[in-house]
Amino acid sequence: MKISELADAGDVSVATVKYYLREGVLPPGRAISRTQADYDASHVERLRLVRALIGVGGLSLARVRQVLSVIEDGSIGPADVMSAAQLSLYDTEDADTEGADGGGAEPVSQAADDATAPPSPGAALIRTLGWHVRLPDPVVDELDEAIEACVTADIGYSDELLARYAEICLEVAETDLATVPSEPAAAVRQVVLGTVLLDPVLVALRRLAQQHAAHTRLPSTGQGPGFAARPPGEA
Amino acid sequence: MKISELADAGDVSVATVKYYLREGVLPPGRAISRTQADYDASHVERLRLVRALIGVGGLSLARVRQVLSVIEDGSIGPADVMSAAQLSLYDTEDADTEGADGGGAEPVSQAADDATAPPSPGAALIRTLGWHVRLPDPVVDELDEAIEACVTADIGYSDELLARYAEICLEVAETDLATVPSEPAAAVRQVVLGTVLLDPVLVALRRLAQQHAAHTRLPSTGQGPGFAARPPGEA
């Protein structure tokens, strides 16, 4: 197909397709003349993936390139696609230069590289659970920062709470995994988009579940801001 | 105590304390002269809460004011504190004017106000589960948008997946609820900060659990990017 047909199939402009070709996130078509190239179904599929990663997934073009390199690395087996796809979502270069961006004064994980230092809370958890996670991992750094914030804010955070959360998240992960196709490109697409897109679903469901659980478990005065059980008109 | 002592206790400058007093997020002290006021432990506690909400929770001062109004509304019972605190995190006025900020062209929930329209996916889920959630709710709108994005991206989203997630999130909520104190101000602090601060913990744990589950359940070629089982030096 012609470049204009490829653009139509991907619901983008020809200029966008040319941009993606220049940036290397779309492979070149088969040259059929000095100015024309032929594109096939694999280009349409790749274009749609790029659009989904950028548009719905909110990834930068540089991040998309990293994700695609995971797909194209044929040596990555199904078990490693998960972590490779996740890693492609992180700026691993930035990981060591954090902590000075306005949050707190002290660097959060200053001892991360010190082999004699005790493990970070996240690393300790991984060890206790016996989880198969490559260390260092940017996600563990993220977990450490999140735990640090909870400890600082004194919101009843405890190791027991963390362990219970981990247990529940393993149920989520098993559910997630059941949806991942075996073909690597489809798997990476699923892992990356599923990671980015399902987080907000879980976050929203947690809040709604909290409302429900609070109503089931705690005494209500009925004076709160209009719950469904008492329509506003029925004062 | 003097304003400078209050500032010290809250680890902020006197100028910041004066700003909070002007903005009404700190109640005035007891006037002891034309230029001096006396502050007590309740001011220190409030100042720390405001700092936590702004600094760790990332809330705006306007949002902090909404949260504080929930705490000060003595008529809100324990069961309703959860939803009232959650609502204080949302710009309810903005909820109806979304959809024009660069994401997609069509408004996501244009039929939300139409009583004859079928319920949104989120509202339908709440109904099916029999969850006690006041509708409309900005969290349900958020859930609907997240579901819409998953459907658009074609990542194997299904009603069964959503129902399973909901079931798991109820376990999270029961865990969360066990940490909420009964005193309203402390409860609101816990709910708001716990909501804001524990989301990233759950998100990170989900990713790590995915890595672990992928390794346990899927065949590995051993060619992936260096898992813990094989230290980098041991090539």
Amino acid residing at B34: R
Percentage, residues of chain A above pLDDT 70: 80
Chain B residues near residue A220 by CB distance under 8 angstroms: 77-80
Higher pLDDT, B17 or A222: B17
d(CA B118, CA B224): 47
Q: Give Cβ neighbours of residue B37 (< 8 Å, ≥ 6 apart).
A: B3, B28, B29, B30, B31
Q: Given a cut of 70, is residue A87 above it in pLDDT?
A: yes
pLDDT digits (tens, 9 = 90+) for A108-155: 344 445 556 788 999 999 999 999 988 888 899 989 988 988 887 778
d(CA A60, CA B204): 21
Q: CA of A14: how far to CAs of A2, A61, B112, in Å?
A: 10, 17, 36
> To probe the interface with A, which of B165, B179, B188, B199 has the most A CB atoms within 10 Å?
B165
The answer to whether the CB atoms of B199 and A204 lie below 8 A apart is no
- 161-220 of A, contacting B, C-beta below 8 A: 161-162, 164-166, 168-177, 179-181, 189-191, 193-195, 197-220
pLDDT digits (tens, 9 = 90+) for A156-215: 788 999 999 999 999 999 998 888 887 777 777 788 788 878 888 999 999 999 989 888
Out of A1-15, A173-187, B8-22, B126-140, pick the least confident. A173-187
Phi-psi region of B11 (alpha: psi -120 to 50; beta: other; left: phi over 0): left
d(CA A7, CA A13): 6
Please give the structure tokens belonging to residue B134.
């006041």
Distance from CA of B89 to the nearest CA of A (A): 11
Greatest alpha-carbon pair distance for chain B in Å reads 77
Residue A189: is it exposed, middle or buried by C-beta count within 10 angstroms (0-12/13-18/19+)? Answer: buried
Task: Please state the ipTM of this predicted complex.
Answer: 0.72
For A29-52, what is the mean pLDDT?
A: 91
The answer to whether the CB atoms of B206 and A199 lie below 8 A apart is yes
Q: What count of other Cβ atoms lies within 10 Å of the Cβ of residue A63?
A: 18
DSSP state string for A208-235:
HHHHHHHHHHS---S-SS--TTS-TT--
At residue A86 the predicted structure's pLDDT band, cuts being 50, 70 and 90, is confident
DSSP run (H or E) holding B182: none
First CA to last CA across chain B, in angstroms? 64
Picking from A90, A119, A88, A92, the residue whose alpha carbon sits closest to that of residue A188 is A88
Predicted local confidence at residue B115, as pLDDT: 58
At residue B186 the predicted structure's pLDDT band, cuts being 50, 70 and 90, is confident
At residue A33 the predicted structure's pLDDT band, cuts being 50, 70 and 90, is very high
Higher pLDDT, A96 or A38: A38
What is the 3 state secondary structure string of B124-172?
HHHHHHCCCCCCCCHHHHHHHHHHHHHHHHCCCCCHHHHHHHHHHHHHH
Point out which residues pair with A38 in neighbouring strands.
Answer: A30
Q: Return the SS3 of B187.
A: helix
Picking from B105, B216, B118, B211, the residue whose alpha carbon sits closest to that of residue A139 is B211
d(CA A202, CA B169): 7
Q: Return the SS3 of A88.
A: coil
Q: Give the one of B134, B193, B210 whose C-beta lies nearest to A173's C-beta.
A: B210
Picking from A89, A88, A85, the residue whose alpha carbon sits closest to that of residue A181 is A85
In the block, tokens 């813990």 appear at B228
Q: Given a cut of 60, is residue A95 above it in pLDDT?
A: no
